[in-house]
Amino acid sequence: MANSVRPNINIVIADDHEIFRDGIKQVFESDPNITILDMAANGMELIKMVNKHQPHIVLSDIKMPVLDGIEACKKIVESQPDTQVIGLSMFDDETSIVDMLEAGARGYLIKNADKSEIIEAIYTVYDGDPYYCKHSSFTLAKMISSSRFNPDKKKKKVEFTDREKEVITLICKQYTNKEIAEELFISPRTVEGHRQKIQEKIEVKNSIGIVIYAIKNQLYIPE
Protein backbone atom coordinates (compact mmCIF):
# COMPACT_ATOMS: atom_id res chain seq x y z
CA MET A 1 0.00 0.00 0.00
CA ALA A 2 2.78 2.41 0.92
CA ASN A 3 4.45 1.71 -2.42
CA SER A 4 1.63 3.03 -4.57
CA VAL A 5 1.72 6.66 -5.62
CA ARG A 6 -0.25 8.75 -3.20
CA PRO A 7 -1.15 12.37 -3.02
CA ASN A 8 0.01 14.21 0.03
CA ILE A 9 -2.19 13.62 3.07
CA ASN A 10 -2.51 16.70 5.26
CA ILE A 11 -3.26 16.20 8.93
CA VAL A 12 -3.85 18.17 12.09
CA ILE A 13 -3.14 16.65 15.50
CA ALA A 14 -4.78 17.44 18.85
CA ASP A 15 -3.53 16.23 22.23
CA ASP A 16 -3.02 18.02 25.51
CA HIS A 17 0.30 16.28 26.23
CA GLU A 18 3.24 17.91 24.51
CA ILE A 19 5.33 14.77 24.69
CA PHE A 20 2.63 12.78 22.93
CA ARG A 21 2.30 15.40 20.17
CA ASP A 22 6.05 15.27 19.86
CA GLY A 23 5.97 11.48 19.52
CA ILE A 24 3.30 11.58 16.82
CA LYS A 25 5.29 14.22 14.96
CA GLN A 26 8.36 11.98 14.94
CA VAL A 27 6.27 9.09 13.59
CA PHE A 28 4.99 11.06 10.61
CA GLU A 29 8.35 12.54 9.78
CA SER A 30 9.35 9.12 8.44
CA ASP A 31 6.47 9.11 5.93
CA PRO A 32 6.90 11.51 3.00
CA ASN A 33 3.19 11.29 2.07
CA ILE A 34 1.95 12.65 5.37
CA THR A 35 2.33 16.31 6.33
CA ILE A 36 1.45 17.74 9.71
CA LEU A 37 -0.09 21.16 9.17
CA ASP A 38 -0.65 22.10 12.79
CA MET A 39 -0.92 20.77 16.34
CA ALA A 40 -3.55 21.72 18.91
CA ALA A 41 -3.53 21.30 22.69
CA ASN A 42 -7.31 21.26 23.08
CA GLY A 43 -10.57 20.94 21.14
CA MET A 44 -11.11 24.70 20.78
CA GLU A 45 -7.71 25.20 19.15
CA LEU A 46 -8.36 22.15 16.99
CA ILE A 47 -11.59 23.54 15.54
CA LYS A 48 -9.88 26.82 14.65
CA MET A 49 -6.99 25.00 12.98
CA VAL A 50 -9.30 22.71 11.01
CA ASN A 51 -11.31 25.65 9.72
CA LYS A 52 -8.09 27.40 8.73
CA HIS A 53 -6.26 24.50 7.07
CA GLN A 54 -9.07 22.14 5.98
CA PRO A 55 -6.90 19.04 6.45
CA HIS A 56 -7.74 15.59 5.08
CA ILE A 57 -7.39 13.91 8.44
CA VAL A 58 -7.59 14.97 12.09
CA LEU A 59 -5.97 12.79 14.73
CA SER A 60 -7.57 13.88 17.98
CA ASP A 61 -7.27 12.85 21.61
CA ILE A 62 -10.67 12.29 23.23
CA LYS A 63 -9.97 13.62 26.72
CA MET A 64 -8.76 17.21 26.50
CA PRO A 65 -9.20 20.39 28.52
CA VAL A 66 -11.37 23.37 27.40
CA LEU A 67 -13.26 21.31 24.79
CA ASP A 68 -12.96 17.54 24.52
CA GLY A 69 -12.42 15.51 21.38
CA ILE A 70 -16.04 14.35 21.18
CA GLU A 71 -17.48 17.88 21.06
CA ALA A 72 -14.72 19.05 18.72
CA CYS A 73 -15.43 16.10 16.42
CA LYS A 74 -19.15 16.99 16.21
CA LYS A 75 -18.27 20.56 15.25
CA ILE A 76 -15.72 19.46 12.64
CA VAL A 77 -18.13 16.99 11.02
CA GLU A 78 -20.63 19.86 10.76
CA SER A 79 -18.37 22.61 9.44
CA GLN A 80 -15.76 20.60 7.48
CA PRO A 81 -17.47 17.41 6.28
CA ASP A 82 -14.51 16.50 4.04
CA THR A 83 -12.17 16.28 6.99
CA GLN A 84 -12.08 12.77 8.52
CA VAL A 85 -11.52 12.39 12.24
CA ILE A 86 -9.63 9.59 13.98
CA GLY A 87 -10.05 9.39 17.77
CA LEU A 88 -7.17 8.68 20.13
CA SER A 89 -7.68 7.23 23.57
CA MET A 90 -6.10 5.35 26.42
CA PHE A 91 -6.66 1.62 25.98
CA ASP A 92 -9.45 1.05 28.47
CA ASP A 93 -11.67 4.01 27.76
CA GLU A 94 -14.28 2.06 25.82
CA THR A 95 -17.26 4.33 26.35
CA SER A 96 -15.31 7.37 25.14
CA ILE A 97 -14.38 5.54 21.94
CA VAL A 98 -18.01 4.71 21.25
CA ASP A 99 -18.99 8.34 21.95
CA MET A 100 -16.28 9.53 19.57
CA LEU A 101 -17.49 7.24 16.77
CA GLU A 102 -21.08 8.35 17.35
CA ALA A 103 -19.88 11.96 17.13
CA GLY A 104 -18.73 11.20 13.59
CA ALA A 105 -15.17 9.90 13.85
CA ARG A 106 -14.24 7.37 11.16
CA GLY A 107 -11.78 5.40 13.22
CA TYR A 108 -9.94 5.22 16.50
CA LEU A 109 -6.50 4.37 17.80
CA ILE A 110 -5.34 3.28 21.20
CA LYS A 111 -2.50 5.49 22.43
CA ASN A 112 0.03 2.72 22.78
CA ALA A 113 -0.49 1.61 19.18
CA ASP A 114 2.64 1.02 17.11
CA LYS A 115 4.02 3.45 14.59
CA SER A 116 2.98 1.24 11.66
CA GLU A 117 -0.55 1.00 12.98
CA ILE A 118 -0.90 4.76 13.29
CA ILE A 119 0.23 5.21 9.69
CA GLU A 120 -2.09 2.43 8.53
CA ALA A 121 -5.01 4.14 10.27
CA ILE A 122 -4.31 7.39 8.42
CA TYR A 123 -4.21 5.64 5.01
CA THR A 124 -7.31 3.52 5.72
CA VAL A 125 -9.46 6.46 6.74
CA TYR A 126 -8.05 8.58 3.91
CA ASP A 127 -9.28 5.85 1.52
CA GLY A 128 -12.77 6.18 2.99
CA ASP A 129 -12.84 3.05 5.15
CA PRO A 130 -13.41 2.90 8.89
CA TYR A 131 -10.40 2.00 10.99
CA TYR A 132 -10.61 -0.18 14.10
CA CYS A 133 -7.53 -0.41 16.27
CA LYS A 134 -5.95 -3.85 16.57
CA HIS A 135 -5.75 -3.58 20.37
CA SER A 136 -9.53 -3.39 20.78
CA SER A 137 -11.30 -5.78 23.09
CA PHE A 138 -14.31 -7.84 22.10
CA THR A 139 -16.41 -5.91 24.60
CA LEU A 140 -15.55 -2.78 22.69
CA ALA A 141 -16.40 -4.43 19.37
CA LYS A 142 -19.81 -5.38 20.73
CA MET A 143 -20.35 -1.89 22.13
CA ILE A 144 -19.44 -0.29 18.79
CA SER A 145 -21.65 -2.63 16.81
CA SER A 146 -24.67 -1.84 18.96
CA SER A 147 -23.95 1.91 18.83
CA ARG A 148 -25.30 4.41 16.32
CA PHE A 149 -21.95 4.31 14.51
CA ASN A 150 -22.66 2.98 11.03
CA PRO A 151 -19.76 3.00 8.60
CA ASP A 152 -21.20 0.36 6.24
CA LYS A 153 -24.29 2.12 5.02
CA LYS A 154 -22.88 3.19 1.66
CA LYS A 155 -21.43 -0.21 0.85
CA LYS A 156 -23.11 -2.66 -1.46
CA LYS A 157 -24.32 -5.97 -0.10
CA VAL A 158 -21.57 -8.54 0.34
CA GLU A 159 -22.19 -12.24 -0.30
CA PHE A 160 -20.43 -14.84 1.84
CA THR A 161 -19.95 -18.56 1.21
CA ASP A 162 -21.33 -20.96 3.83
CA ARG A 163 -17.80 -21.71 5.04
CA GLU A 164 -17.06 -17.99 5.40
CA LYS A 165 -20.25 -17.55 7.42
CA GLU A 166 -19.14 -20.34 9.75
CA VAL A 167 -15.73 -18.71 10.16
CA ILE A 168 -17.36 -15.32 10.89
CA THR A 169 -19.56 -16.83 13.60
CA LEU A 170 -16.57 -18.48 15.26
CA ILE A 171 -14.49 -15.28 15.07
CA CYS A 172 -17.36 -13.50 16.83
CA LYS A 173 -17.23 -16.19 19.52
CA GLN A 174 -13.57 -15.26 20.05
CA TYR A 175 -12.15 -18.51 18.67
CA THR A 176 -8.51 -18.42 17.57
CA ASN A 177 -7.46 -19.60 14.11
CA LYS A 178 -6.33 -22.90 15.64
CA GLU A 179 -9.65 -23.42 17.44
CA ILE A 180 -11.63 -22.58 14.31
CA ALA A 181 -9.49 -25.07 12.38
CA GLU A 182 -10.27 -27.82 14.91
CA GLU A 183 -13.96 -27.01 14.94
CA LEU A 184 -14.31 -27.04 11.13
CA PHE A 185 -11.78 -29.83 10.41
CA ILE A 186 -9.63 -27.62 8.19
CA SER A 187 -6.05 -26.40 8.59
CA PRO A 188 -5.24 -23.15 10.44
CA ARG A 189 -3.69 -21.90 7.21
CA THR A 190 -7.01 -22.32 5.41
CA VAL A 191 -8.75 -20.49 8.25
CA GLU A 192 -6.31 -17.60 7.83
CA GLY A 193 -7.12 -17.66 4.11
CA HIS A 194 -10.85 -17.36 4.82
CA ARG A 195 -10.20 -14.62 7.34
CA GLN A 196 -8.21 -12.61 4.80
CA LYS A 197 -10.90 -13.08 2.18
CA ILE A 198 -13.62 -11.92 4.58
CA GLN A 199 -11.57 -8.87 5.54
CA GLU A 200 -11.08 -7.99 1.87
CA LYS A 201 -14.77 -8.40 1.10
CA ILE A 202 -15.92 -6.05 3.84
CA GLU A 203 -12.84 -3.83 3.63
CA VAL A 204 -11.65 -4.08 7.21
CA LYS A 205 -8.17 -4.72 8.57
CA ASN A 206 -8.71 -7.05 11.52
CA SER A 207 -11.00 -9.34 13.53
CA ILE A 208 -12.53 -6.42 15.38
CA GLY A 209 -13.73 -5.06 12.04
CA ILE A 210 -15.25 -8.46 11.23
CA VAL A 211 -17.07 -8.64 14.58
CA ILE A 212 -18.48 -5.13 14.20
CA TYR A 213 -19.62 -5.84 10.64
CA ALA A 214 -21.14 -9.21 11.60
CA ILE A 215 -23.20 -7.81 14.46
CA LYS A 216 -24.29 -4.72 12.52
CA ASN A 217 -25.43 -6.88 9.61
CA GLN A 218 -26.96 -9.56 11.84
CA LEU A 219 -24.64 -12.32 10.68
CA TYR A 220 -24.02 -12.93 14.35
CA ILE A 221 -26.31 -12.24 17.28
CA PRO A 222 -24.43 -11.90 20.58
CA GLU A 223 -25.91 -13.64 23.63
Residues near another protein, by CB under 8 A = 15, 17, 19-24, 26-27, 29-30, 61, 63, 90-95, 111-112, 114-115, 118
Q: Which is nearer to another protein, 92 or 182 (CB)?
A: 92
To the nearest whole angstrom, how small is the minimum distance from the Cβ of residue 20 to another protein? 4
Closest CB to another protein among residues 23, 188:
23
CB of 85 to another protein, least distance (A): 18
In whole angstroms, the minimum distance from the beta carbon of 115 to another protein comes to 4
Nearest distance, CB of residue 142 and another protein, angstroms:
13
Helix axes 162-172, 188-202, angle to 10 degrees: 90
Task: Tell me whether residue 57 or residue 204 sits nearer to another protein (CB atom).
Answer: 57
Q: How far apart are the first and last CA of the chain?
A: 38
**Cβ at position 118, least distance to another protein in Å:** 8
Q: In terms of CB distance, is 28 or 123 closer to another protein?
A: 28
**Closer to another protein at the Cβ: 24 or 73?**
24
Rounded Cα gap, residues 190 and 198, in angstroms: 12
Nearer to another protein, 45 or 93 (CB): 93
Q: Output the smallest distance, CB 96 to another protein, in A.
A: 10
